[in-house]
Structure 1
């Protein structure tokens, strides 16, 4: 049997690792680190440093190349195929390094439960009849890092929050009956599709990392600044991860 632990590692700051995360890392026989494109080498560098700083035992660390999701065709179909390919990579690494079973750990950016597909990929291994027991160690999510960086609450008093994606915001507009909207996985500037009147935005990129960038203010005023800053940062670093929270004025 493979005991798989998905460890939330926060958004880039090693200080965000919980004691439970550190214990789980050291309890593992094997930690798999995914390598993405050269432009995103910062992401694996953070994971490597966490392993170097936190591991004090015999845990083996192995890197593998993450498959690339195709950009053409149907989005959900492309994501499903991508997840299948990642599951195959995991299975190959497990067969090579844990042929008799053992404890495997994956370091998940942010928290495994929030707009992350690691749990869904693990389900694919179960569907292939792999004897897999999954445990989750929660981590600080990008939304927690965002609200902490801006020193704001996630919700208005006694009001709901909707967590959605840039694609959903762009296609469907402001969610009904939502006072506050948190937006993740935005390819860039989906907030431009909504009426900015009375809306405040809190935006953050590279949260928890040395290059962290923050902008906040009335959407109509700072929206263009966010678009320009996002483009400049992406050009400078070769990649970007950002998230934002928007809130409408109380009527």
Structure 2
């Protein structure tokens, strides 16, 4: 059986839930994506309702694969951590929940893992050998490792303890906005330290930076002093949706 050429990707985040049909040959959206704000009460029921609404918005994808990301550890479709959504997600079988909501099987994976798959297939890490570290800077910090083209799932390096703090509580772009930091203050006081710690931990050959703030990469990436090449994600904030659709089409259920 040949691999599907289109799929639906839905990216669940702490601030918004986004989805679009994806051309799996090019990694591009086939229609303008829809974004719905993540509800303040981000319970499984509330988020699943939005997932169903997004799926219904694209009836042309009804027979195709569906991939859905989650900002936390996902093993065999079950959520094990939920730092930026309601804690009631922990222990939830998201695969079963979403499958029922959209009326067909889905693939569920960590949001940064999905972004890394997309960047490795279509974006900044395409053709790169060795170890690629993906970091998504947003409400929190998502991370993913791809080694010689193979994903190492659920790394969660955004929750490393750095200088006595959970890393994302100080170094995410959400923390930058919360604390009113300029780009130079964010880099010099927080982001530089975070990336130095993580590159000493995994010794990557390339770091790719995604998330919403990657649109302004020229304002902060040149300020970093690292031994590892660091570049913005080419797919920017679409990588999660694209990678989710790709994972579903490939039949990947990240362990």
TM-score (norm 2): 0.34
Larger Rg belongs to: 1
| TM-score normalised to structure 1 length | 0.34
